[in-house]
Structure 1
Amino acid sequence: MSRRTQLRTSRCGCSLILAEHDQIAHALTIKKLRQEQFGQSSERGALLDQLELQLADLEENAAQIDTAAQVAAEKIAVPSFERRRPARRPLPEHLPRERIVYPVPASCPCCGDNRLRKIGEDVTEMLELIPRQWKVIQHVREKLVCRACEAITQPPAPSHPIARGRAGPKLLAHVLFAKYGLHLPLNRQSDVYHREGIDLEVSTLADWVGASAATLTPLVDVIRSHVFAAERIHADDTTVPVLAKGKTRTGRLWTYVRDDRPFAGRDPPAAVFFYSPDRGGEHLAGYARLMQADAYAGFSRLYEPNRKGGPIIEAACWAHGRRKFFDLARLTKAPIAAEAVKRIDVLFAIEREINGLAAQDRLRVRQERSRPLLVELEAWLREQRAKLSRSNDTAKAINYCLSRWDAFTRFLDDGRLCMSNNAAERELRAVAVGRRNWTFAGSDEGGRRAAAIYTLVASAKLNDIDPQAWLADVLARLPDHPAKRIHQLLPWNWRRQNHAHAA
């Protein structure tokens, strides 16, 4: 055996060890970021996306190096390098099993005797994917004629999810979720179906989406009412590209989230989306309670005491305030900004401890532990601002917080409030992913339609149910479902019904 061959094998082993070390480091970083409850979602989201892509590459590299090491070990007589793999989880029990039994020899390969008896078996399981199956369901209504009076009778025609539609509810739900849940535009869906032998033009898919949105409108309306009945909501918005004649213009998508789980609230979570061609949304006209949001100037009129219907009570987002200091600390190494981030992070650490506790318990901890820290933080910020010029970027970040100090500290006096607006930002992150893949809408009406479907998909996810399965079921049931019992089809009620049936 040559020295060169030994070195090559040794390098394979060392490379694999280094690759596995990088994998573990990336995986731990991703886990830590997912557990953290502070920081602006765009900050964490971009980093998570990057790290997850890098982790996938590292895992592929490790597998490639492992294979190369095994091939090299087969060719040379040196101690093989065995990659230490973590214990593999068993394949899901609910999946059907197909047994492939290999033929056994008719006689003993050792002595030739044919008196063989079974003493056991070794089973190796392999996960496999079966191509999607398409089928045409024929709804047959037999016609009967009366021999006595010759009257013709037949069963009534079944209701369809969409008028004159030839798509079943499961197919419609698949198209909707692929576009608004998986961010797969209709032209790509059409290409996928074509490769499977089904020709569905983009125009046909678009018709199905529009008709399905119309069918689902009653559910969207009820979810909107549920969200705005909350004592506290999260609000955020983002830009979306909209096609216009000869150009692409910018519209806005707004989201309002009701999520009482941080303070052990019993009402189910939900999210509602609205589209507007500009940033002049009027969706909060009937709302006058607590709202957690960023410092968008357009919201200012909502907080005015003389507002018709009463003012909305502002609760500022500490993730936004922290982000301003974080950017300065990262880009310019500003010591004051870095110290501000550390002080704010201590507050977020307390919030992680009390997340999910009852509102009164959260309030007690905040009064005891968070309030003294914020009193110190305010005094420290004012002291540092006095040392800086007005044009200094750190001074601007300080002014952002101090000018809204009442809104920033409102969470100290209400256990229902959160320190950040991450609940709304998380919902918009899915829109941001889709925005990178396709133009959001071809018209303002398309924008409003997209907002409606996003409302359904997001609310289903918030209630831990499969959006596609839920949409398929409600599309099948809505045409014949009594309007006064529409609440039965809401995601949180649908889940309870399904669990009851399963039991």
Structure 2
Amino acid sequence: MTVKVVELEAELEAANKLIASYKAMLFGARSEKARLILDEQGRLDLDDLSDIPATPAAANDDPSVGRPRATARRNIGALPKHLPRVTQVIEPASTQCPCCDGALHRIGETVTEALDIVPAIVRVIATVRPKYACRSCDGGVVQAPAPRRLIEGGMATTSFIVFIAAQRFAWYLPIYRQAQMLAGHGVHIDRSTMLRWMQRLAWWLDGLFDRQLRFIHSQGRIHVDETYLPMLDPGNGKVRRDQIWAHGIDDRGWNGPAPPVVCYFYDRSRSHRTICEQLGAYEGVLHVDGFSSYKALEDPGHKGGSIVLAFCLAHLRRRFVDLHKSTKSPITAQIIKLIGQVYRIEAEIRGTSAGHRFAERQAKSKSIMEELKVLLDDTLARVSTTSTLAKHIRYGQGHWRGLTRFLDDGRIEVDNNFIERQMRPIGLQRKNSLFAGSESGAESWAKISSLLQTAKMNGLDPFTWLDDVLKRIVSGDVKNNDLDQLLAWNWKPATREEQLDLAA
């Protein structure tokens, strides 16, 4: 009986620790979640879903101890020069001298600038196409052809539909909220109509999405990850957990030639078969986590191209960080410290050439990883095989070859956090929209999000880019074999004359 009580108490203690960890993750203040776990260690929590800066720092990197804080951006100085200016001149009430009543003359001026905005204007475009006929004969009637639109005969212009899409997939504003906002303008559009617009827009973008995906799979190193997508299951009255996959590249860490790009896929499964179908004959390095569907890609019997897996060091560190929060073990502290040293080195070499990163990793990071391996092996021999610490150590040992792959190639990243950051838009859309209503809607979701997220990563305004791209495609100005010029990193805005031609 006593043994049973001890076992139950142990299970209760483990369950309480797990609940405490979840409560800290869900309800803890952000300032607490980002606190130092070790005095020598910088930020260790999961900041891998933050926005990407122009020259991004390595995700989850630990800033060096004593490093001065970056200067805050306070918009001191002139406002952006590319914005249009509206000049307001305010004259004095009188230009006569208060002393002698003589006329005052202008000696200078004071100019101050302030940002202003004109809210969205909902309007109706009336397209008039006059008909002309000859009075002298019964010849044919002459009339200009109607301009092509995204939805022929529809009630909305291409720009209107693009605006809905940009708000929905680039800035995560659900369709039903946009419908409510339009109703405030006196425009009542059923949500189902707007959803059909999104599916039609995705149809037009299908070729561009394929070009973008082909570009990703032409690279020697890509990042892959997946997350769940709630899907309405008609007939069962339930929501099932389907999957959104992401494939992406980002060479900015080593100043490589490839721009940041991401493509999303919808699928019902996260199986090995699914990722094999997505990759096709791809050959190269895959940055992934330790999920079993990925590990099977290195098996000799794998059907497809030759793939080398580079596992994510951040995933290993998170395990020990979570354990350290509940146990405060000196072993976990030492492991975290060693991994933190690797990340400090990564922060120093971020943005340098692949050759320099390789040399620095060989000179500095390699010995740290070897010390970490010895520590993991020695610790496992001294702890209970059923403990959580042993479980995490075995994870590291089982993935060690992929975890150290970055040491031998300066182009390989130390973690997979680039693609995890690209999952944040999916998470925000999932939070705001709760679930996808249909599989075709989820596929449209994936395609449009892929293109708009890539535009954002390349510093473009999603609406401006997509509006111009759709008008060129719909009008026939850009043919299918020329779509590469419309990809976000190749795109150049149309000139004023070209814009008038597209609108005609």
Q: TM-score, normalised by structure 2?
A: 0.79
Secondary structure of 1:491's partner? coil
**Aligned ranges for residues 327-476 of structure 1 at < 5 Å?**
327-476=322-471
Cα shift readout 1:219-263 (whole Å, capped 9, x = no counterpart): 011111111111111011111211122122211111011122222
Q: CA deviation at 1:297?
A: 1.4
Secondary structure of 1:178's partner? helix
Q: Name 2:16's counterpart in structure 1.
A: none
Q: How many Å separate the matches in 2 of 1:386 and 1:271? A: 42
Q: Name 2:6's counterpart in structure 1.
A: none
Secondary structure of 2:119's partner? coil
Contact 2:225 2:419 in 1 (8 A): yes
Return the match for 2:78 from 79, 90, 95.
Answer: 90
Q: Name 1:486's counterpart in structure 2.
A: 483
Contact 1:243 1:439 in 2 (8 A): no
Contact 1:165 1:208 in 2 (8 A): no
Q: How many Å separate the matches in 1 of 2:114 and 2:358? A: 52
Instruction: Write the letter of the residue equivalent to 2:485.
Output: Q
Q: CA deviation at 1:91?
A: 3.2
User: How many aligned positions are there?
Assistant: 429
Contact 2:280 2:305 in 1 (8 A): no
Secondary structure of 1:475's partner? helix
Structure 1 residues 419, 170: closer, same or farther in 2, change over 3 A? same
Instruction: Write the letter of the residue equivalent to 2:342.
Output: L
Secondary structure of 2:470's partner? helix
Structure 1 residues 236, 494: closer, same or farther in 2, change over 3 A? same
Contact 1:336 1:394 in 2 (8 A): no
Structure 1 residues 120, 297: closer, same or farther in 2, change over 3 A? same
Instruction: Write the letter of the residue equivalent to 1:276.
Output: D
Q: How many Å separate the matches in 2 of 1:240 and 1:124? A: 49
Structure 1 residues 186, 270: closer, same or farther in 2, change over 3 A? same
**Aligned ranges for residues 133-152 of structure 1 at < 5 Å?**
133-146=121-134, 147-152=136-141
Secondary structure of 2:122's partner? coil
Secondary structure of 1:249's partner? strand
Secondary structure of 2:152's partner? coil
Q: Name 2:151's counterpart in structure 1.
A: 162
Structure 1 residues 124, 458: closer, same or farther in 2, change over 3 A? closer
Secondary structure of 2:115's partner? coil
Q: How many Å separate the matches in 2 of 1:98 and 1:296? A: 59
Q: How many Å separate the matches in 2 of 1:497 and 1:477? A: 9
Structure 1 residues 106, 40: closer, same or farther in 2, change over 3 A? closer
Cα shift readout 1:248-297 (whole Å, capped 9, x = no counterpart): 22111110111222222213331110011222323123223210111111
Instruction: Write the letter of the residue equivalent to 2:381.
Output: A
Instruction: Write the letter of the residue equivalent to 2:461.
Output: D
Q: How many Å separate the matches in 1 of 2:125 and 2:380? A: 71
Q: Which runs of 5+ in 2 are unaligned?
A: 1-29, 36-40, 52-72, 499-504
Q: Which runs of 5+ in 1 are unaligned?
A: 1-24, 31-35, 47-84
Q: How many Å separate the matches in 2 of 1:244 and 1:428? A: 23
Contact 1:169 1:473 in 2 (8 A): no
Contact 1:162 1:215 in 2 (8 A): no
**Bigger mean CA offset, 385-394 vs 249-258:** 385-394
Contact 2:262 2:450 in 1 (8 A): yes
**Bigger mean CA offset, 372-381 vs 196-205:** 196-205
1:178 pairs with 2:173: no
Structure 1 residues 207, 396: closer, same or farther in 2, change over 3 A? same
Q: How many Å separate the matches in 1 of 2:281 and 2:288? A: 17
Instruction: Write the letter of the residue equivalent to 2:80.
Output: P
Return the match for 1:251 from 223, 242, 251.
Answer: 242
Q: How many Å separate the matches in 2 of 1:37 and 1:427? A: 24
Q: CA deviation at 1:173?
A: 1.7
Structure 1 residues 106, 410: closer, same or farther in 2, change over 3 A? closer
Structure 1 residues 483, 37: closer, same or farther in 2, change over 3 A? farther
RMSD: 2.8
